[in-house]
Amino acid sequence: MGDALVYWLQQTLNALQLGSIYALIALGYTMVYGILTMINFAHGDVFMIGAFFCFLAAVYLGLPFVPTLLLTMVGTALLGVTIERLAYKPLRQAPRVSAIITALGVGLFLENFTLALAPYPKNIPALLDTTTWAVGGVSFSSLQVIIILLSLGLMVLLDYVVHRTPVGMAMRAISWDKTFVPLMGVPVDRVISITFAIGAGLAGAAGVMYGLAYPIIDPYMGIMVGWKAFISAVVGGIGNIRGAMIGAFILGWVEIMVVAFFPSTYRDFVAFSLLLLLIVIRPYGILGKPRTQKV
């Protein structure tokens, strides 16, 4: 194989790894937006807390990979529900801006709270023995394979839950119509809480995987990764679950390719320019449907 092709394949593999982490976080943004039409700006910080839970479980409890992952997901799911109950639920009837501001506040709170408890960046220990295979010059690490497969598994599971189970049907119903669905006996509050739990749990899983792939974690890591995941959700069409996955892989691929061929400081510039361009050209995203406003 030619060197250029090997390089491309190698970078595409890296892009798949980054994209799957973005996708797991983007799902939380898009699910919450689909149901509440609210941008949950604290979601990136839930992801960060996930990485710190992973650190706690791995270092202080000395747990291996699978229990760490499960514990982290449960922990962040509980955190997500708590945030929703305490901060967002009272504002459901308030102007939408109030909820956005509150979400920004919650995010800032999580960041600074973590900073107070963990002033220095932490190093997540290697939870998995990494072996590297080389196939025709392209090197795979077992870690990369696990991250990609596990994320894909979680996404397939989520897709199944949303499209094939009663809870998923309730979620779709609420995002379809908020006035009459409660009258049909759908427990709206519970479904919203479940949505937050699932979204936050996925963000927790993303935190663990991010921590394994890029082991230095700090309280502000959630900001940029969170925004990137949010861009993914918008690129795919916010509110659309499959769109979020596609958007995340596109963004991951673009970012990795920018870093591969240009100075790495252009990464954010390209990511946000892509976002800007897309919103102006196709505001409803790749898979989203245009909404018309009735007067």
Partner 1 sequence: MKTALASGWEGLMRQRWLLPVLLVIGFGLAFAIPQYNLFNKYVQLVMMYVGINIILTVSLNLVNGYMGEFSLAHAGFMAVGAYTAAMLTMRVLPVAAHPELFPLAVLAGGLMAALFGLIVAIPSFKIRGDYLAIITLAFLMIVKSVIENIDYLGGPRGLPGIRKLTTLPWVFFWVVVSIWVIRNFIYSNYGRGVLSIREDEIASDLMSVNTRRVKFLAFALSSFFAGVAGALFAHVLQFISPRVFDIIKTTDILIMVYLGGIGSIAGSILGATVFTVLLELLRPTTFGAMLSWLPAMIFEPLNQYFIQHLGIWRMIIMPLLLVLVMLFWPRGMMGLREFRWFIPKRDVDAHQRPPSKA
Contact residues toward partner 1 (CB under 8 A) are 37, 39, 87, 90-91, 94-98, 100-102, 104-109, 112-113, 115-116, 119, 223, 227, 230, 234, 238, 263, 265-266, 268-269, 272-273, 275-276, 279-280, 283, 293, 295
- In angstroms, give the least distance from the CB of 46 to partner 1: 15
Smaller CB separation from partner 1, 14 or 102: 102
Which of 62, 283 has the CB closer to partner 1? 283
Q: Which two tokens stand for residue 98?
A: 């109030």
Q: 88 by DSSP, 3-state: which? A: helix
Question: At its nearest, how many Å lie between partner 1 and the CB of residue 127?
Answer: 29
CA–CA–CA angle 133, 258, 200 (5° rounding) = 75
> Which amino acid belongs to residue 121?
P
Task: For residue 230, give the amino acid letter.
Answer: F
Residues 169 and 56: their CA atoms lie apart, in Å, by 36
CB of 112 to partner 1, least distance (A): 4
- 110 or 173: CB nearest partner 1: 110
Closest approach, Cβ 229 to partner 1, in A, equals 13
CA distance 276 to 190: 35
Name which of 130 and 273 has its Cβ closer to partner 1.
Answer: 273
CB of 271 to partner 1, least distance (A): 8
Q: Are 30 and 208 in contact (CB under 8 A)?
A: no
Closest residue by Cα to residue 54 from 204, 203, 229: 204
Q: What is the number of H-type helices and E-type strands within the chain? A: 10, 4
Closer residue to partner 1 (CB): 104 or 149: 104
Of 109 and 253, CB closest to partner 1: 109
Rounded distance, CA 52 to CA 47, Å? 9
Q: How far is the CB of 115 from partner 1 (least distance, A)?
A: 6
Q: Which residues contact 265 (CB under 8 A, 6 or more apart)?
A: none
Rounded to whole angstroms, the maximal C-alpha distance in the chain is 63
